[in-house]
Amino acid sequence: MTTMPRIGLGIDLHRLVPERPCVLAGITLPADVGPAGHSDGDAVLHAACDAVLGAAGLDDLGTLFSDKDPANAGRASGEFCLEAMRRVRAAGLRVVGMDVVVETERPKLAPHRLAMRQSLSRLFAVELDRVNLKGKTGEGLDAIGQGQALRATVVALLADVACDAGD
Ligand code: MG
């Protein structure tokens, strides 16, 4: 049986601040700045959750895990992914593709791309060769270009669990 795939988009912007762990895509990168946030600030996982939830037609991350709720303070965003994927599976869907763009001046992501892809592959139960991630800079312009913030943009493709999705 073949059904139509579903696409979702997630975008997340976080301020970059000193003396904060730089957690991105579920791993901690060596850096002198990190994304600020109520949770661990992992903008990549937040955008990825919103992409898969959006594709499934489900509530977004901010609705599921309010940044006003003290229970979410300092929380590892991997926990948000587990809940998002629980809901995606309950809807009879699976992730069959994910592409990620991270706009930031620092840290440089190239040395960490494989580890970040592997982490996303585990968290969203999608084959490694169907997860990509690239880093871009802000060319010195706006808050990203001046190193004050980073932004993650993620598109995710979902298919029915029962569907081969062209495998
Ligand atoms: Mg966020």
Q: What angle do CA 143, 46, 77 make, to 5 degrees?
A: 120
What pLDDT shows up at residue 164? 56
Distance 14 CA to ligand 1 centre (A): 6
Residue 9, pLDDT > 70, answer yes
Predicted confidence band of residue 99 (pLDDT cuts 50, 70, 90): very high
> 8 near 42, Cβ under 8 Å?
no
| Positive or negative: CA dihedral 59, 64, 66, 67 | negative
Distance 65 CA to ligand 1 centre (A): 10
pLDDT digits (tens, 9 = 90+) for 59-91: 999 898 888 888 888 889 999 999 999 999 999
Stated length of the chain: 167
- Residue whose token pair is 């795939």: 5
DSSP string spanning 52-88? HHHHTT---HHHHS-TT-GGGTT--HHHHHHHHHHHH
Task: Tell me the pTM.
Answer: 0.93
What pLDDT shows up at residue 68? 83
Alpha-carbon gap, residue 39 to 36, rounded angstroms: 8
Distance 94 CA to ligand 1 centre (A): 23
| Residues, CB within 5 angstroms of ligand 1 (ion) | 12, 46
Distance 167 CA to ligand 1 centre (A): 33
